[in-house]
Amino acid sequence: MEVMPKWADVVLIPLFSLLIAFALSALVIIGIGEDPIAAVKMMVSGAVGSTYGWGYTLYYATNFIFTGLAVAVAFHARMFNIGGEGQAALGGLGVALVCLSVDWPHWAIALPVAVAGAAVFGALWAALPAYLQAKRGSHIVITTIMFNFIGAALLNYLLVNVMRPAGSMDPATGKFPPGTFLPTLHDILATIGIPFSKAAPANVSFLIAVAACVLVWLLIWRTRLGYAIRAYGHSESAAVYAGISPTRIIMIAMLISGALAGMMAINNVMGEAERLVLNSVEGAGFIGIAVALMGRSHPFGVFLAAILFGFLYQGGAELALFTDIPRELIVVIQALVILFTGALDNMVRMPLEKLFLALRKRDA
């Protein structure tokens, strides 16, 4: 029996969880002797108070949309893909290989190939953990964690020993050719006469991320495959009884998940850095977990949560710049969001369910 109406489940619980997480974060800020209200004001003006701030907020949000969708798709098949970090790093390798392979004449030609390269490499990095889960029963969480470290070591090796241009001390690839430079939001909005900060890194990848949200929604709720994924996620035995192959669903869901995480690289590697550097993902793969949990694994929710985390990231950078609050405060907030929307979900849910039950009894 549904104790609560759907809107309460989708809106009220994440909202309460978020409020608790923010309240505790405010306590942390007070604890280190800073003013939380001033901090929030500074974050708002820094992250959304100018087109420069928006440009960074949307840039970060683009990363988080991809990694959030990756975790969300896996969640629908009841897989916990904690390997977004490694898959995104490998996606970066795919993008770098594509961008450095030929002298691309125009970004519009390079971009689809780069997207494919990122997706294939990301999916490949998810393939072995998925196979081991499907065929050998190894826990996907453990194998994807291991693959994060293996991926980091692999990229470290490639960047230091193989892909580094001769004579360069920096463990990074050479600069991509100009034909791969993606148009920024400044360039795109200028064509329709809207002024936008030129310095901010938000680029056309944001639109691709939005398109990915729509496609994931279509896949999960409007296709036969999506139905099979959700059916498997709800009950493996029921899915098997209905003729759905668990191996197939695990593989497909994880490949899609890995591909989405990998596609993040068109934003940070191709759109921003324009070369592949060490540790290019910077934890975005893990933030995807918080984003997916908060967005209740729904693409629209993921979109909103990603924007929120983009805001927190950019606002947090401003805080670190102008106050004594270190940037790691964002990691604390991220942890609290994961804790309350994920692990302590029942703590928020149980009192609310009691409340709704009481209300219903009174009505009856």
Partner 1 sequence: MDFLTVLQVLDSTVRLATPLLLACLAGLFSERAGIFDIGLEGKMLAAAFMSAAIAAVSGSVWLGLLAGIGASLLLSAIHGLASITFRGNQLISGVAINFLAAGLTVVVAQDWFQQGGRTPSLIGGGRFAPIDLPLAKSLQDVPVLGPIYHDLISGHTILVYLAIALVPLSWWALFRTRFGLRLRAVGENPAAVDTAGVSVIGLRYAAVAICGVLCGIAGAYLATALQAGFVKDMTAGRGYIALAALIFAKWRPWYALSATLLFGFLQAIALRYQNIDLGGIVVPVQFMDALPYILTVVILAGFVGKAIPPRAGGEPYVKER
Please name every residue paired with 203 in a beta bridge, in sequence order, or none if there are none: 184
The answer to whether residue 346 forms part of the interface with partner 1 (CB under 8 A) is: yes
Q: How far is the CB of 203 from partner 1 (least distance, A)?
A: 28
Question: Of 43-51, 56-64, 141-149, 212-220, which part binds partner 1 (CB under 8 A)?
Answer: 141-149
Question: Of 3-11, 152-160, 182-190, 202-210, which part binds partner 1 (CB under 8 A)?
Answer: 152-160
Decide: 189 and 54 in contact? Cβ < 8 Å. no
Question: Of 243-251, 256-264, 301-309, 329-337, which part binds partner 1 (CB under 8 A)?
Answer: 329-337
Query: Which residue type, as a one-letter code, is found at position 296?
Result: R
When binding is defined by CB under 8 A, the residue of 12, 44, 127, 150 that contacts partner 1 is 150
The answer to whether residue 343 forms part of the interface with partner 1 (CB under 8 A) is: yes
Both tokens of 112, joined, read: 């689809």
The answer to whether residue 191 forms part of the interface with partner 1 (CB under 8 A) is: no
- Binding residues for partner 1, total number by CB under 8 A: 50
The answer to whether residue 169 forms part of the interface with partner 1 (CB under 8 A) is: no
CA–CA gap between residue 145 and residue 147 (Å, rounded): 5
Nearer to partner 1, 98 or 123 (CB): 123
Q: How far is the CB of 116 from partner 1 (least distance, A)?
A: 27
Please name every residue paired with 43 in a beta bridge, in sequence order, or none if there are none: none
Nearer to partner 1, 179 or 246 (CB): 246
Query: Which residue type, as a one-letter code, is found at position 163?
Result: M
For residue 50, is it left (φ>0), alpha (ψ between -120 and 50) or beta? beta
Q: Which residue has the tokens 């998925």?
A: 130
Other beta carbons less than 10 A from residue 363's beta carbon: 6
Decide: 98 and 113 in contact? Cβ < 8 Å. yes
Q: How far is the CB of 73 from partner 1 (least distance, A)?
A: 17
Question: Of 2-10, 140-148, 179-187, 356-364, which part binds partner 1 (CB under 8 A)?
Answer: 140-148
Other beta carbons less than 10 A from residue 181's beta carbon: 18
CA–CA gap between residue 133 and residue 257 (Å, rounded): 15
Q: Which residue has the tokens 């991509």?
A: 176
CA–CA gap between residue 75 and residue 81 (Å, rounded): 8
Question: Of 25-33, 60-68, 108-116, 246-254, which part binds partner 1 (CB under 8 A)?
Answer: 25-33
CA–CA gap between residue 10 and residue 211 (Å, rounded): 22
Question: Of 4-12, 53-61, 101-109, 136-144, which part binds partner 1 (CB under 8 A)?
Answer: 136-144
Please name every residue paired with 184 in a beta bridge, in sequence order, or none if there are none: 203
When binding is defined by CB under 8 A, the residue of 4, 113, 156, 196 that contacts partner 1 is 156
Length of the chain, please?
A: 364
Other beta carbons less than 10 A from residue 180's beta carbon: 25
When binding is defined by CB under 8 A, the residue of 88, 204, 255, 329 that contacts partner 1 is 329
The answer to whether residue 277 forms part of the interface with partner 1 (CB under 8 A) is: no
When binding is defined by CB under 8 A, the residue of 35, 103, 170, 328 that contacts partner 1 is 328
- For residue 23, which of 235, 249, 336, 284 has the smallest C-alpha distance? 336
Residues that bind partner 1 in the complex, under the rule CB under 8 A: 28, 31-33, 80, 82, 128, 132, 136-139, 141-143, 145-147, 149-150, 153-154, 156-157, 160-161, 286, 289, 293, 324-326, 328-336, 338-339, 342-347, 350
